């Protein structure tokens, strides 16, 4: 547990000092929102409810991919990743620390983007803010979990920027389905029960699988 907190602290402090990841993630997802706002018809927010939810999550996924890539690119500087590999700690704990850090950063970006999104698309998020936060967090959790695992793989392949989305997207589909449908249901006033259940199941499976498999990814 100590290790989890140590890694989490290290990632967040490094991030705080350089503001490397969060700025690029935030700018990128805001950019996506703005570009979509200009390219879609003016009443898209009301007529394309489910579609709007999808757009928001597209922005989130792109931001997450960006952030996760950076998370491990930083570890390659000075080969710090070897430092993590050398530690006698349970590598699953290292995974949890890194995933938690990515999750925290993603939450921040999600919040800011949601705000911009609500403005741009004239979508009433405020009345459902709490439940939306819940869905966003559940989606973000799965994203962070499986994203951290795959980022550790992708960052040591030749086409590292392109590799992560290629690996991640097919596997993210159940998560995205739950998140997008849940968000859309929120906006339409429908029940979010099924979506939340799907998200919970997917998160649980992805967390466990990533926790176990991370060990094999940290070796040289």
- What's the min distance (Å) between Cβ of 73 and another protein? 8
Sort 67 into a burial class: Cβ within 10 Å, 0-12 / 13-18 / 19+.
Answer: buried
Closest CA to 207 of 167, 163, 149, 155: 149
| Per CB under 8 A, 83 contacts another protein | yes
Q: Which of 38, 41, 88, 189 binds another protein (CB under 8 A)?
A: 88
Sign of CA dihedral 146, 152, 158, 159: positive
Q: Binders of another protein: how many residues, by CB under 8 A?
A: 61
Name the one range near another protein by CB under 8 A: 40-48, 58-66, 119-127, 155-163.
Answer: 155-163
Half-sphere exposure of 4 (CA within 13 A, CB side): 8
Q: Which of 34, 48, 85, 200 binds another protein (CB under 8 A)?
A: 85
| Per CB under 8 A, 216 contacts another protein | yes
Angle of CA points 1, 133, 167, to nearest 5°: 65
| Per CB under 8 A, 156 contacts another protein | yes
Q: Which of 40, 58, 87, 107 binds another protein (CB under 8 A)?
A: 87
Of 177-206, binders to another protein (CB under 8 A) are 177-178, 181, 194-195, 198, 201-202, 205-206
Do the beta carbons of residue 140 and residue 109 sit within 8 Å? Answer: no
- What's the min distance (Å) between Cβ of 157 and another protein? 4
Q: Which residues of 134-171 are buried (b: 16+ CB within 10 A; e: fewer)?
A: bbbebbbbbbbbbbbbbbbbbbeeeebeebbbebbeeb
Nearest CB to another protein, comparing residues 34 and 205: 205
Q: How far apart are the first and last CA of the chain?
A: 24
| Per CB under 8 A, 134 contacts another protein | no
Helix (H/G/I), strand (E/B), else coil: 158: coil
| Per CB under 8 A, 215 contacts another protein | yes
Of 41-80, binders to another protein (CB under 8 A) are 74, 76-80
Q: What is the DSSP secondary structure assignment for residue 41, as one 8-state letter?
A: -
Query: Which residues contact another protein (rule: CB under 8 A)?
Result: 2-3, 5-7, 9-10, 13-14, 17-18, 74, 76-90, 146, 149-150, 153, 156-159, 163, 166-167, 169-171, 173-174, 177-178, 181, 194-195, 198, 201-202, 205-206, 209-210, 213, 215-217, 219-220
């Amino acid at each position: 547990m100590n290790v989890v907190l140590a890694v989490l602290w290290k990632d967040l402090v490094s991030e705080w000092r350089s503001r490397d990841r969060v700025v690029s993630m935030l700018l990128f997802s805001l950019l996506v929102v703005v570009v979509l706002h200009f390219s879609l018809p003016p009443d898209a927010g009301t007529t394309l409810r489910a579609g709007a939810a999808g757009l928001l999550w597209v922005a989130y996924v792109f931001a997450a991919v960006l952030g996760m890539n950076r998370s491990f690119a930083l570890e390659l500087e000075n080969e710090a990743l070897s430092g993590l590999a050398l530690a006698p700690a349970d590598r699953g704990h290292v995974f949890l620390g890194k995933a938690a850090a990515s999750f925290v950063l993603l939450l921040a970006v999600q919040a800011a983007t949601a705000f911009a999104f609500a403005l741009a698309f004239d979508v009433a998020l405020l009345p459902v803010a709490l439940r939306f936060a819940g869905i966003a967090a559940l989606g973000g959790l799965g994203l962070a979990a499986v994203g951290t695992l795959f980022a550790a793989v992708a960052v040591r392949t030749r086409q590292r920027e392109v590799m992560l989305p290629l690996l991640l997207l097919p596997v993210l589909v159940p998560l995205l389905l739950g998140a997008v449908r849940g968000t859309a249901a929120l906006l339409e006033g429908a029940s979010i029960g099924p979506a939340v259940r799907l998200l919970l199941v997917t998160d649980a499976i992805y967390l466990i699988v990533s926790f176990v498999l991370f060990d094999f990814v940290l070796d040289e």
